[in-house]
A and B are shown apart, each in its own frame.
Chain A
């Protein structure tokens, strides 16, 4: 079964509004969660992962600055959280899956993060997906001889 045929035309129109995804792992296409970022993002990720319980989410929403201070966020990290600067948060060492807990808590979601990362409106991004690319491991690679 091959799905994704339905709605092909609107997808293509929306895709035109965004450049095609590049086939490399460089920024800004990819913001890798490197081991260095994992170290740098300790406070950010501890804070975000604390939001995995309803009580913590309520506490955070009741007093954002106070809650962030308790987790030892720097002024710059607190600013990124306050501005919901998802791209800045990932660059500062926030893991996407941790930042998603923050998004859920403040009534946003994965599309909000994606739109910020891709530099477009949320609706544009939703309409553009799936953003189709093509390519399989090269014939010269080991799998090519299969």
Chain B
């Protein structure tokens, strides 16, 4: 049977993507505000390479780039061979599309709906910075990454994206997103084959990008969350979402997506690495968790909570 071998929580923001393109292209490298994010994600990239997943389930939120308010799904799953980049108003970045795996897309849809998660099925889902902004920081592309060389320049792993409504009230509850994680784990284990699956949740950390509180930054909250998520999921789920929004900004509600990732792992899974920084207007953090034995030779837990 297939298995969930690890999970990652990671932030996203449009500027994270733009700063990657600029930082990689510039002889001067990354800007001082973004260098710590680039440095901190080197270890995430290395751990993902060692986890060597065959497939990713990515829990993210769309920012009115694919969906619109005439029909806004609470939960939607992308099923297809290819996921293109959405045009967010500035035109797409120079990045390859992400590949899907329809065996996984169809399987997860059937299993999750069988477990009473009534997902909207999107057959031509385009993905925005919710996925593409952190992606190049943590995944090596084939060849030189620009389509040159012997390989295609594509991403090294296929994905099934699951979009969660963070736009239109009411949002799904924190408890429901925890249940979704458990259902994802059971669904992965029902897949025939020995695929290794990593569940990635992206959103948060503290930030608010409108109103007079624009740019608020609560690094204490971000560190609190990173430290407590691995071992205290139920306690974090019990905190009202509006409390995260009050303390960390309205967009801190996206932290509830990380509950799905944690709940998709076993109780025995442990934190391998975490870090956070605050480049400008979005709290940027990452947490890598692994199931026992998924990372041979790693003293799991030794780098957590940094």
Where the two chains meet, the residues of A that have a C-beta atom closer than 8 Å to any C-beta of B are 1-4, 6-7, 21-25, 27-35, 38, 41-42, 45-46, 49, 51-54, 57, 90, 95-98, 100-105, 110, 113-114, 117-119, 125-126, 128-137, 141-143, 145-146
**Neighbouring A residues of B48 by C-beta, 8 Å:** none
| Nearest CB on A from B35, distance (A) | 8
**Does B173 interact with chain A (Cβ within 8 Å)?**
no
| Nearest CB on B from A67, distance (A) | 15
**Neighbouring A residues of B90 by C-beta, 8 Å:** 104
Contact with A along B256-297 (1 / 0, CB 8 A): 000000000000000000011111110000000000000000
The answer to whether A117 touches B212 (Cβ under 8 A) is yes
Closest to B34 in A: A3
Closest to B166 in A: A97
Bound-state CA distance A2–B219 (Å) is 10
**Does B218 interact with chain A (Cβ within 8 Å)?**
yes
Given contacts A35-B169, A90-B210, A131-B217, 4 further A-B contacts (CB under 8 A): A21-B213, A33-B169, A49-B68, A118-B211
Task: Classify the secondary structure of B's interface with A.
Answer: loop
Contact with A along B228-249 (1 / 0, CB 8 A): 1001100110110011111101
Where the two chains meet, the residues of B that have a C-beta atom closer than 8 Å to any C-beta of A are 14, 32-33, 35-37, 39-40, 63-65, 68-70, 86-91, 167-170, 208-221, 224, 228, 231-232, 235-236, 238-239, 242-247, 249-250, 275-281, 306
**Neighbouring B residues of A128 by C-beta, 8 Å:** 215
Which of these, A7, A31, A42, A110, contacts B32 with CB under 8 Å?
A7
Which of these, A21, A141, A142, contacts B216 with CB under 8 Å?
A21
